[in-house]
Structure formats: structure tokens, C-alpha cells
Structure 1
Amino acid sequence: MTAQITRKLTTILAADAERFSTAMEADEVGTFGALKSARAVFQRLIERHGGRIANTAGDGLIADFPSVVEAVHCAIAVQQDLAAEDNGLNFRIGIHLGDVICDGDDLIGEGVNLAARLQAMAEPGGILISRQVYEQVHNKLTIGFEYLGEQQAKNLPEEIDVYRISIGAQDAQINRVRPKAKPTPRKRPSKVAQVWNDNFDSYNSASDDRSDQGPNTARFSDRPFGPLTPDQIRKWRWIGGLVGGAVALNVISGGGFWVAWPLWVLTFLYCFRHGETTLGLRPFKTIPVRIWLLMVFLIGINIMSFSGPWAIFPVGALLAYSLLLRGSKPAEE
């Protein structure tokens, strides 16, 4: 008689240390101590977020969570704590929501395999998630998600949609393990220059970090505004239709549709704050998206105020300053 197979739908977290064998050869005792310290971090945070460790093998582990949101929270907390400890081991993490076979306390099946493949594709200190996870958490968590496109995972027949979680501590960890050129002294940038640098650097890092990882990894050098997910496209259509219609009514009515004013201001503030994460924006023509948003905002105010073309002056100044910063950036670095 064939034994009954027990299945369940769960969130699988797969983690593995980068270059563990090499580290063991260089310093066996020190690396083993670092692994024990990292395991303690995983154990503590997995339990705190309602998960459990299903399997461990060498420097890796498999955990499962009843909550997708808690699994993502746990992964972020783990990478933040490991980055703070800086014990020499950097872990990759992959998360997938799928159906698995329960073999006692162990988990087996395609869901586990997919989480492991995501983990293998992640950067050291990074977190990759599947579309199934993204759809459950993107509107529940105030973090950044970067769509990497469809990827062909090893030994899996079909391509999968992959997303990278972008958070400050995680990105700092990734930058820490990436070789860097010898720094040179530079002047402290102004506030406007800082807006430029933050946007341009984050855009470049998204492309440059993957330049040597083969054809399976998406790059954004030829897609300044994308790729946008279907959810982001819907948001843009909704925002564009609502605000565009309100501004048009205000102009047609000769300024009588006053609702367009608060709507224009609130929309600008929302896009300025959340544009890069919620709406998936990237620098366009090497100019940060926030500069573009500010220029469009000023032009809209100019149009609705029915005054002379005064916006040409602040818009021209912003554009010139951004281009000036862009031209001087290579020399500074």
C-alpha cells in the first residue's frame, strides 16, 4: 500500500553562505565560529517571526513560515543583523510561496527547489523573491522591490519572475562585499546634489552589479523607466488619468475647477516620496526622476495660474544644474 503523502502551502525561505568552503580552507576555526553565530541569528529571528527551521545542511538552511509577510520581515531582519555583526560570512536568501511535501519535519518538492534557486541567484547579502511572494507583500510592506525580469533557474523547465528586495541595510551589505576603487577626497555635496547622487548611484548600481552575471540577469541600462510591473502600470494610468483630467478641467473652466490645485500638490508629494519604489521609476536621460517630477510640477502650476511662462526659468535652472552635476561626476570619482 502506498503511504499517504502530506502536502501544505507554505512560504519557504532558503539561505546559504557565500564561498563557505573557501573560507573554511583559509580559517577553519574562525569560519566555524562565524557560522555558529550566523545560525543563532537565523534561529532567533525565524522563531520571532513565527517560522521554523525545516532543514539544515552545512552552511545552508530551509525554513518555512505560515505568513508570507513575516517571512520577508525575517529575511530583512536577518540580513540587517548579519551586516551589523560583520563576522565574515555573507548569506544569500531566496523566498518562494508554494506547495511542498512534508516528510516529517523536512520539506521536499518543487517549492523548496525554487526557493533554493532564488537563493543561488541572489547577491551576497541580498534577498530575491518569486512573483508569488511579491503579489502577497508588495502592498503590505513599505520597502523597495526591483523587478529583475524572467529568469531561467537551473534545472527548472520554465522561466520565473524574480524580484529583488531593496532596503538600506541590505544594500549596504551588498556594497560592502563588492570590490571598490581607492576613494579620493571629494567635497560635501549640496542638498540638490545629494538628490542627484542618490538617484543616479542607485540606478547605476542596479546595472553595474549585474554586468558579469550572464544573460539570465536583467539590466536597466537600456530601460530607464522599467521594466514596470502590471500593478505599477495600473497605478500610473490611474494617477495620470485622474490628475490629467483635473488639470484639463481647470484650464477649460478658466481656473474654476479649484479641486485641481490640492490634487496636483498631493499627487506631486506622493510621487516625489514613493515614485522610485511604488511606481518603479528610474533616472531618465541620466537625470534623476525627482528632478523631472519637480520640473513637471512647476510647469503644471504655471499652466493653471494662467500667468506668463515664468516656469521656464526655474525649470531651466534645474535642468542645467542636473546636467552640470552629471558632467562633473566622473571627474570627482
Structure 2
Amino acid sequence: MVKNSIHRRLVAILIADVVGYSRMMEADEALTFETLRERRTHVLDPVVRTYEGRIVKFMGDGVLVEFGSAINAVEAALKLQRKMTEANVGIPEPRQIVLRIGINIGDVIGEGSDIYGEGVNVAARLETLAEPGGICISEKVHNEVRGKISIMMKDLGLVQLKNIAAPVRTFGMETARALPSTLLSRSREFTTVAVLPLTNISGNAEQDYFADGITEDIITELSRFKNLSVVARNTTFSYRGQSVNVAEIGRQLGADFVLEGSVRLSGQRMRATVQLIDAQTGAHVFAEKFDREVVDIFAVQDQIVEAIIGRLFFNLQEVAGIVRGRTSTTSISAYTSWLRAGAAWRNGDEPGARKHMHEAVRLDPIYAPALASLGLLYAYWRFSEPSVATDAELEVQCQQFAARAIAVDKTDPFVLTSVAACFFWSGILTMPCATPTLLSPSVLMT
């Protein structure tokens, strides 16, 4: 018998990196190197030792640390951010060392002094979602520290992380430091766009969900294009309701362009105004108004996306030839219920989310994203509440809605990832005989 040489352990993983590192190195390489070395010696090392952590490795401007306790990891992160803020006092802002930190709990594989595994990958993705000077944690970490650490935690909802199959519910942790006005390095591989939340100017706060939903759909549609990087929704939505300098926010987010605008829903008409701004110059690339009947809402969204792509790449023929394959719904009422469900979920109203999503499916029984979301909502309900964890009815609901979603659309990435997450949370490994290929790799990777 061959002895298993893989060593696994459950740990809390902290990953931090320096905001604007490339810019700082380009400006003064020697000074940046010396400042980082000083911070490692006098800030990072003492904090890690205090909370019984272990520095696994340094990764250029980043560091990977493991802790035996989620509480220790979060308290270390909080103290690290405070110490960094204190050390930055009196230093010109462009030379300040500001961190983003992501924390996750996961089963890792140890090889020598290094660790590997999905738990590490999730922590790395969470770090990119954190605000400069802030902390982003997974739901697993949140459940461990809730009520034990006195810190404000904002529920950012389910986030689809890059190269992670199942969406991860994330939480942002506020720290003493506000968002710095530092310039982030511009991406050389992609044109980066930040879509700020469209403002609801209808005068009815209850219609915020509509403006938010339109914003999310624009982000989703833009994300389909290769060579175009879109700043994560959770990052841009943190500016909702704030009076901001759009160009400055774009530079802080490392975006080449920023989209801002407003939406007004009045009776059966929707009016949208959007402006695309060059973050480096502050100049308006274009500003347009869209005034349509509500029945044409999807056409308006398509026109906004196509206008942005056309102005960015100056190749309208290529844009016109791209088929985005929208296979959602033609029912405005169903779509409105979908938006209401999303708003309820983000506000922590899970029963309300299920109610509105059921209404969307009632209005359009072949609305694949809504069907997949219902399966996911039931799976999450079954997973998150032990009192109903063995309820067979919830398992049946989960399976049925997931199967219906796949039957309608096997190509939509949202549908596929939602169904995968649905079965991950519910612990179901096989489907009913009627749909035996639902979880096959060929289907999920289409």
C-alpha cells in the first residue's frame, strides 16, 4: 500500500497586498522597497506573532499568512490596518503603504512551508474585492467571528469569484481608514471600465431596485466581452448615494473609463442618461439619452452597452456582430419581479427574495435565470437553517427548479454557476433520472 503523502489541515487564510504597488515602484523603486521592508519588520511580523499566525510566503507586494483561528486572523487584519494607518502619518499620500486584505477559511494542502487549495484561491479573490485600507471576508469567516468581534460588517451578497465555481457570500469590514485618493496602476492587457450605480431620479425610493438592476445588467453584459475588464459590482456599489468626483473615483479603482448616469421610471416610460468619462483626463467620451417605452427596456440596455463598446474600441462592425445571447425574458413584469428579488436578497430579506422570484417564474415559466435562482435560494435556505436541513420538500424544490433552468438554457453562465452552487449547498451529488446529465462536466463547462 502506498502511503498518502498529502497533508491537509483546516486553517484561516489571510492574503494582503499593497494598493498601487506598480505605480510606487515606477516612481521610486529603491524607496518603495525600503519602505516595504521596514513595514514588514516593524508592523507585519509583530502583528502576525501576536496573533499566533505564520507567514507562509511573500508574493512581490503581497503576503500569505495562515492562522489556526478565524478570530485571530480577523483581529490580526484589523490591527495590521490600524498600524499601517499610524505608520502612514506624515508621509505624502502617493508614498503611503495601503493594504487590501482578504480572509477565508479552508482545507489546504501543505507542501513544505507552502499551502495550496481552493481556500487559498478564494482568499486571493476576496482580497481584490476589499477597499483600499479595508478587509473582505467570506461567509465562513463571518459565521465564526459574528458577535465575537466588535466591528461593522456589511453584507455584500453572493459574488461570483473568478475561476471559483460556486458564488461566495462576502462581507466587507469597515476600518478606520477612508478610501485614499491614490492612483492605481492601469491595466495594460485590458481596457477597464467602472460602472457606477445609476441614480434613481424618479422621486420614489422604492424604485431604487430598478436602477440597481439596470446597473447590474449593464455590468453583466459588458463582462461578456474579451479584452474588457469590468470593476466588480460590490466595489462600485460602495459609492452609491455619494457625491463623488467621477474621474478621481475611476483613477482610484484603476479604471480607464467610468460610466455614470441616471434612470427615471415614469408610468410606461423609462428615461436613462449615461456619460462615459475618461478617468485619466476627466473628459467626457460621450453622453447620451435613451427614452423608451418600458416594453423596450432590454433594447435600451443593449444600446447603452453597444455605445460604450463602440466608443472604446472604435469598431462598430465587430460590436454589431457579437451575439450576447440574452435568453432571459421578454416579460417586463417578470423582469421587475427579478429586480425586486435581487433587492430583497441584498437587504437580507430571504423570504422576500423567494416570493419575488416565484412571481417572476409565475409570470414567465421559462425564465431560466429566475428558475436557477429559485433552486439556489431553496438550497441556501436548507443549508443555512439547521432546523430545516433535513426537510425533504426543500430538496425537491431545489432539484425541480434547477432541472427546469437547465432544460431551458444549458449555455447561460449565470444559470450554470447558480445550479452548480445549488447542488453544492444542498449536498446533492446526483440528479433524478429524468435529467442525468445535469452535473456532467461537459454541461457545466459549456
Q: TM-score range by the shorter chain?
A: 0.5 to 0.7
Larger mean Cα displacement after TM superposition, 6-15 or 153-162: 153-162
Structure 1 equivalent of residue 128 of structure 2: 120
* Contact 1:55/1:107 (8 A) holds in 2: no
Query: Residue 161 in 1 paired to residue 163 in 2?
Result: no
Structure 1 equivalent of residue 237 of structure 2: 219
How many angstroms apart in 2 are the aligned matches of 1:85 and 1:3? 46
* Contact 2:132/2:180 (8 A) holds in 1: no
Structure 2 equivalent of residue 130 of structure 1: 138
Structure 2 CA distance for partners of 1:124 and 1:218, relative to 1, 3 Å: closer
Residue 225 of structure 1: how far off its partner (Å): 9.0
Structure 1 unmatched ranges of 5 or more: 180-206, 234-333
- Equivalent AA in structure 1 for residue 112 of structure 2: G
How many angstroms apart in 2 are the aligned matches of 1:218 and 1:38? 30
Structure 2 equivalent of residue 326 of structure 1: none
* Contact 1:92/1:119 (8 A) holds in 2: yes
Query: What aligned pairs does 1:35-46 form with structure 2 within 5 A after superposition?
Result: 35-40=36-41, 41-46=43-48
- Equivalent AA in structure 2 for residue 8 of structure 1: R
Query: Residue 105 in 1 paired to residue 105 in 2?
Result: no
- Equivalent AA in structure 1 for residue 73 of structure 2: A
How many angstroms apart in 1 are the aligned matches of 2:57 and 2:162? 21
* Contact 2:157/2:345 (8 A) holds in 1: no
TM-score, normalised on structure 2? 0.41
Query: Residue 21 in 1 paired to residue 22 in 2?
Result: yes
The structure where helix makes up a greater share of residues is: 1
Query: What aligned pairs does 1:241-280 form with structure 2 within 5 A after superposition?
Result: none
How many angstroms apart in 2 are the aligned matches of 1:216 and 1:140? 25
The superposition leaves residues 97-138 of structure 1 with CA deviations (integer Å, 9 ceiling, x where unpaired) of: 110001111111111111011011212111000000000001
How many angstroms apart in 2 are the aligned matches of 1:36 and 1:153? 31
- Equivalent AA in structure 1 for residue 64 of structure 2: I
Query: Residue 150 in 1 paired to residue 158 in 2?
Result: yes
Structure 1 equivalent of residue 49 of structure 2: 47
Residue 37 of structure 1: how far off its partner (Å): 2.2
- Equivalent AA in structure 2 for residue 12 of structure 1: I
TM-score, normalised on structure 1? 0.54
Structure 2 CA distance for partners of 1:22 and 1:125, relative to 1, 3 Å: same
The structure where strand makes up a greater share of residues is: 2
> When the two structures are aligned, how many residues end up with a matched partner?
200
Query: What aligned pairs does 1:191-230 form with structure 2 within 5 A after superposition?
Result: 213-215=231-233, 217=235, 219=237, 227-229=346-348
The superposition leaves residues 3-26 of structure 1 with CA deviations (integer Å, 9 ceiling, x where unpaired) of: 510000000000111221221111
Structure 2 equivalent of residue 5 of structure 1: 6
Structure 1 equivalent of residue 33 of structure 2: 32
Structure 2 CA distance for partners of 1:142 and 1:67, relative to 1, 3 Å: same
Structure 2 unmatched ranges of 5 or more: 89-94, 185-211, 220-229, 242-341, 353-446
How many angstroms apart in 2 are the aligned matches of 1:165 and 1:76? 9
Structure 2 CA distance for partners of 1:176 and 1:49, relative to 1, 3 Å: farther
* Contact 1:124/1:177 (8 A) holds in 2: no
How many angstroms apart in 2 are the aligned matches of 1:226 and 1:137? 22
Residue 219 of structure 1: how far off its partner (Å): 3.4
Residue 94 of structure 1: how far off its partner (Å): 0.2
Structure 2 CA distance for partners of 1:31 and 1:217, relative to 1, 3 Å: closer
* Contact 1:96/1:132 (8 A) holds in 2: yes
- Equivalent AA in structure 2 for residue 130 of structure 1: S
Structure 2 CA distance for partners of 1:56 and 1:135, relative to 1, 3 Å: same
* Contact 2:57/2:64 (8 A) holds in 1: yes
Identity of aligned residues (%): 35
* Contact 1:94/1:128 (8 A) holds in 2: yes
Structure 2 CA distance for partners of 1:217 and 1:152, relative to 1, 3 Å: farther
Secondary structure of the equivalent of 1:132?
A: helix
RMSD: 3.0
How many angstroms apart in 2 are the aligned matches of 1:88 and 1:217? 21
How many angstroms apart in 2 are the aligned matches of 1:34 and 1:23? 11
Secondary structure of the equivalent of 2:73?
A: helix
The superposition leaves residues 251-296 of structure 1 with CA deviations (integer Å, 9 ceiling, x where unpaired) of: xxxxxxxxxxxxxxxxxxxxxxxxxxxxxxxxxxxxxxxxxxxxxx
Residue 177 of structure 1: how far off its partner (Å): 4.5
Residue 142 of structure 1: how far off its partner (Å): 1.1
Residue 36 of structure 1: how far off its partner (Å): 0.9
* Contact 1:148/1:219 (8 A) holds in 2: no
Secondary structure of the equivalent of 1:219?
A: helix
- Equivalent AA in structure 2 for residue 138 of structure 1: R
* Contact 2:103/2:123 (8 A) holds in 1: yes
- Equivalent AA in structure 2 for residue 67 of structure 1: S
Structure 1 equivalent of residue 66 of structure 2: 64
Structure 1 equivalent of residue 104 of structure 2: 96
How many angstroms apart in 2 are the aligned matches of 1:155 and 1:127? 21
Secondary structure of the equivalent of 2:237?
A: coil
Residue 39 of structure 1: how far off its partner (Å): 1.6
Structure 2 CA distance for partners of 1:19 and 1:25, relative to 1, 3 Å: same
Query: What aligned pairs does 1:281-300 form with structure 2 within 5 A after superposition?
Result: none
